[in-house]
Structure 1
Amino acid sequence: MAESTRRTEIMEAVERLLARGGLNAVTMRAVAAEAGVSLRLVQYYGSTKDELLGAVLDRLADQSVERWQARARQWGCQSPLEVIKAFYDEALPTDRASQDFHRVGVSMEALALTDPNMAGQAYQRHLSGLGDHLAGVLKSSGLSATAAHCLALEVMALAHGVGTLVMTGQLSEADAQTLIKNYLERLGPQLSP
């Protein structure tokens, strides 16, 4: 079996464990059992749990951004407002993949707050990269760099909060979509050239 295939299997095993049971479910032995490989092989690809978690978060973050950008291209999004709408549609935990990603993100957020080690730093890199990308989109509407950065953080905060409310059953998917639609309607005039 190719090395990249083994690494992918191990990363996917970590993702499944995180999605099912959070950070406490991820141990080196549990990853080995989930992936159907030896403990030694897991340790080859990540000498510590923290190293594995950081690699998995980087992988998931890249996949999420790729899905968001693909959605924006597919829809032919031109304006910053359309790109933000595509971001929200990707970020809302409405299907299995986005629900798993949200669960992993919340777990990593807790880790970043309580133990800012490698996995916590990976989560912080993800947030910074996402904020920078959103700010770049928003600057194209004529906002200053500072205003674009602040608005990017606002967009991210709303996505995270609404996602958590959906995941915990406090907000239905339809109500979440309505809330975001109303937010985007209020945001529109700020982004008009």
Structure 2
Amino acid sequence: MANKAIKYRAYPTAEQSIMFAKTFGCCRKVYNLMLSDKIEGYRTTGKFPAVTPAQYKNEYPYLREADSLALANVQMNLQAAFRNAFRKSRDKNNGFPKFKSSKHSHKAHTTNNQKGTVAIIDDKYIKLPKIGKVKAFIHRNPDDSWVIKSATVSQESDGKYYISGLFEFDNAENTYVVDKTNAIRLRF
């Protein structure tokens, strides 16, 4: 199995743009809350506590408006940042995780596909959880055998939106085969 990402230009409605902005903000808020609690827990106990996005939803009810899988991916991103910061082999020069700023942070969130919650519909729309059908320019259709695993919604600094779909496909479909004359052919 192999993965391939295809990035599509999205044209959300005004309501969908507001929902994207809310989700970006909620993801940043949860990341900063979890990082703050991990730092505070280390100061008091000497160990980094386990934190989840669900523990903040009672104190911050607006977090319920955002896609729960996007918030879960934020938790996984923070865990990866801690793993990279404390990795023994320092092949990358990763420092301690930093708080995300509303002015300088990358506006993006990733959601996972669960039983068809993310899909390409009619070669015109991309379906996302809690957002619905977002109009998009589908310049490349995935093969029928490809399975969509996740979608990342991002906003560039010029205000344009993009949705990047991550597809999983069988690697045997696109393999190189060497024949007896040592010429390489691509099998389709």
Scaled by the length of structure 2, the TM-score of the pair is: 0.31
Structure with higher RCO (Cα < 8 A, 6+ apart): 2
Structure with bigger strand share is: 2
Scaled by the length of structure 1, the TM-score of the pair is: 0.30
Structure with bigger helix share is: 1
Larger radius of gyration: 2
